[in-house]
């Protein structure tokens, strides 16, 4: 017989081993709006909100899905409750009660703006992925992006997150309501200032006075978030249902390690972040660069190299001695010199901890998922380390090998007809189909994409040579080049 469904009315039937919300949900108030109701938000920011609500009832979340209604449809019958599985030995389950509502922006735009306008909304966070910001390759707002062009004509009927933020702030400005803090939790370098500049630029096209207010009065702190969050699948749903005793249509899972660092600005000092494990730091850039270049950079390298070598998950790829050795040397010899220690942060220890996290077998992080959106991820995860190495004339064979593996991955998808999850899928697949397995020819085709590879980098002989060498040594079957036979 099918077990009862998780909801407020069935919490009493939950297994005693599962942690429940330790606060009265009905007494909680929405003070936090979040764009992007996906798995990472529900495993990360909503987890911290759940802990905040044990101390302060002002931090229930209104989550906004910008496109799909899938999360709302899964969680609405459950009163927006769901289980978080922390992957370790043994795994731990916790019911998260922080979500008050899930709004689907295209059909519930007035409700979204009502939350953005409400004086009680003090915090707006985002996990919309790199492509959700509608930025050009140089990090500035892309006014030619279809969503941005639409929103500048839309008179409030916006569809991009930039448009929602600018319009929400405009309405507060018009009513003399203090602004909320805007906290990007995506993997963008200098994510706060980058988002600040984009929203200000958008607003300037419509109202210069609003743009000046946003520029001078609205806080966009830098942040860094970290926790490996494998996608929800049927196996997770079955496991959570069996262990909790209740059916949950929308559980999420992550590794036990979780980290959130927020720039210590007055606008974010509205909650007791330290009490729930959030770090407020004057300089987030140390953490941000390390996470992007070490954790995310190694993930991308493992994804493209690992898929070529027939692996499915990060942990499985780390059991490949040659591949694990390659990625470790990339981090220690090619990435670490581009980072600096600061306070209690030590680069070598961070790399060692990262590699240990990757080896955890219970965290089944799919390489295919990490491989999505390479055109947006590589300029943030791998290219900064390449540029830093070139600036000091250091070799970077494994970084180049990882870029070549991405190219081989795209070619494989183009030839196999499997499609590509990437905002530039059409262009990339066309390049892939035109490749001839001649390193210089094939690499040149990819390096012509200036919004991925800046012209000055793509034209550098040392860079083109290194990537072509990696491409030649890698081979279509993922055999690693001579750099790993040393």
Query: For residue 66, which of 31, 101, 34 has the smallest C-alpha distance?
Result: 34
- Every domain of the chain with CATH number 1.10.1040.10 lies at 285-485
C-beta separation of 383 from 293 below 8 A: no
How far are the Cα atoms of 60, 114, 173 from residue 120, in angstroms, in the given order?
A: 11, 11, 15
Query: What's the pLDDT at 89?
Result: 74
C-beta separation of 390 from 396 below 8 A: yes
How far are the Cα atoms of 93, 317, 366, 375, 400 from residue 382, in angstroms, in the given order?
A: 35, 19, 20, 11, 9
Q: What is the pLDDT of residues 269-294, one digit of tens each?
A: 999 999 999 999 999 988 989 999 99
C-beta separation of 334 from 388 below 8 A: no
How far is Cα 379 from Cα 405, in angstroms, rounded to an integer?
15
Q: What is the pLDDT of residues 367-393, one digit of tens each?
A: 999 999 999 999 999 999 999 999 999
What rounded mean pLDDT belongs to the chain?
A: 94
Other Cβ atoms within 10 Å of 21 Cβ, number? 19
Q: What is the pLDDT of residues 301-341, one digit of tens each?
A: 999 999 999 999 999 999 999 999 999 999 999 999 999 87
C-beta separation of 96 from 135 below 8 A: no
The residues pairing with 62 across neighbouring beta strands, listed in sequence order, are 33, 101
**Segments in the chain below pLDDT 70:** 343-344, 475-479, 481-486
Q: How many CA atoms lie within 13 A of 379 on its CB side?
A: 22
Q: Provide CB contacts within 8 A for 479, sequence distance 6+.
A: 473
How far is Cα 353 from Cα 48, in angstroms, rounded to an integer?
22
- State which H helix or E strand residue 48 sits in: helix 45-53
Query: What's the pLDDT at 81?
Result: 98
Whole-model pTM above 0.85?
no
Query: For residue 336, which of 354, 316, 360, 321 has the smallest C-alpha distance?
Result: 354
Assigned CATH for 285-485: 1.10.1040.10
- Every domain of the chain with CATH number 3.40.50.720 lies at 8-281
How far is Cα 406 from Cα 478, in angstroms, rounded to an integer?
11
Other Cβ atoms within 10 Å of 359 Cβ, number? 13
Query: What's the pLDDT at 483?
Result: 53
Query: What's the pLDDT at 443?
Result: 98
Superfamily of domain 8-281: NAD(P)-binding Rossmann-like Domain (3.40.50.720)
**Residue 216, token pair as written in the block:** 């001078």
Torsion of CA 388, 195, 45, 377, to 10 degrees: -40
**Residue 259, token pair as written in the block:** 């980290």
Assess whether the previous peptide bond of 177 is cis (omega < 30° from 0): no
Query: What's the pLDDT at 204?
Result: 98
How far is Cα 95 from Cα 110, in angstroms, rounded to an integer?
30
Query: What is the DSSP code string of 14-36?
Result: S-TTSB---S-GGG--EEEEEE-
How far is Cα 141 from Cα 337, in angstroms, rounded to an integer?
31
Torsion of CA 437, 439, 442, 448, to 10 degrees: 180
Query: What is the DSSP code string of 178-243?
Result: PPPEEEE-SS-TTHHHHHHHHHHHHHHTT-HHHHHHHHHH-----EEEE---PPP-HHHHHHHHHH
Q: What is the pLDDT of residues 1-15, one digit of tens each?
A: 789 999 999 999 999
Q: What is the pLDDT of residues 184-216, one digit of tens each?
A: 999 887 999 999 999 999 999 999 999 999 999
Which 3 state secondary structure label does DSSP give 119?
A: coil
Sign of CA dihedral 71, 58, 217, 174: positive
How far is Cα 451 from Cα 383, in angstroms, rounded to an integer?
12
């Amino acid at each position: 017989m099918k077990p009862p469904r998780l909801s407020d009315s069935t919490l009493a039937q939950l297994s005693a081993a599962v942690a429940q919300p330790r606060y009265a949900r009905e007494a909680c108030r929405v003070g936090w709006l979040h764009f992007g109701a996906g798995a990472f938000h529900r495993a990360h920011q909503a987890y911290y909100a759940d802990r905040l609500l044990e101390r302060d009832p002002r931090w229930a979340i209104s989550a906004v899905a910008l496109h799909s209604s899938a999360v709302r449809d899964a969680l609405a019958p459950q009163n927006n409750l769901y289980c978080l599985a922390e992957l370790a030995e043994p795994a731990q389950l916790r019911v998260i009660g922080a979500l008050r509502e899930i709004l689907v922006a295209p059909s519930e735009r007035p409700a979204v703006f009502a939350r953005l306008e409400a004086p009680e909304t003090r915090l707006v966070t985002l996990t919309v992925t790199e492509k959700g910001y509608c930025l050009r390759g140089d990090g500035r707002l892309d006014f030619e992006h279809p969503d941005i062009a639409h929103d500048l004509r839309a008179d409030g009927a916006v569809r991009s997150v930039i448009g929602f933020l600018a319009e929400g702030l405009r309405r507060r400005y018009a009513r003399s309501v203090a602004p909320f803090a805007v906290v990007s939790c995506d993997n963008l370098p200098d994510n706060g200032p980058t988002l600040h500049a984009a929203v200000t630029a958008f607003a300037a096209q419509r109202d210069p006075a609003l743009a000046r207010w946003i520029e001078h009065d609205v806080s966009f702190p830098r942040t860094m978030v970290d926790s490996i969050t494998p996608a929800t699948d049927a196996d997770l749903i079955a496991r959570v249902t069996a262990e909790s005793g209740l059916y949950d249509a929308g559980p999420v899972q992550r590794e036990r390690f979780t980290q959130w660092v927020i720039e210590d600005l007055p606008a974010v000092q509205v909650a007791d972040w330290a009490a729930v494990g959030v770090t407020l730091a004057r300089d987030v850039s140390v953490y941000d660069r390390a996470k992007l270049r070490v954790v995310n950079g190694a993930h991308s390298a493992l994804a493209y190299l690992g898929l070529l070598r027939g692996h499915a998950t990060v942990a499985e790829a780390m059991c490949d001695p040659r591949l694990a050795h390659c990625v470790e040397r990339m981090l220690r010899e090619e990435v670490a010199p581009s980072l600096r220690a600061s306070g209690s942060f030590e680069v070598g220890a961070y790399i060692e901890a990262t590699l240990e996290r990757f080896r955890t077998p219970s965290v089944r992080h799919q390489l295919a998922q990490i491989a999505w959106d390479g055109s947006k991820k590589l300029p943030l995860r791998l290219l900064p380390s390449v540029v830093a190495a070139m600036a000091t004339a250091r070799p970077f064979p494994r970084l180049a090998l990882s870029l070549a593996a991405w190219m081989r991955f795209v070619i494989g998808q183009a030839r196999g007809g499997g499609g590509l999850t990437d905002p530039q899928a059409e262009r990339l697949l066309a390049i892939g189909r035109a490749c001839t397995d001649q390193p210089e020819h094939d690499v040149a085709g990819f390096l012509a994409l200036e919004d991925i590879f800046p012209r000055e980098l793509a034209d550098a002989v040392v860079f083109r040579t290194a990537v072509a060498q990696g491409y030649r040594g890698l081979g279509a079957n993922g055999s690693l080049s001579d750099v790993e036979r040393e």
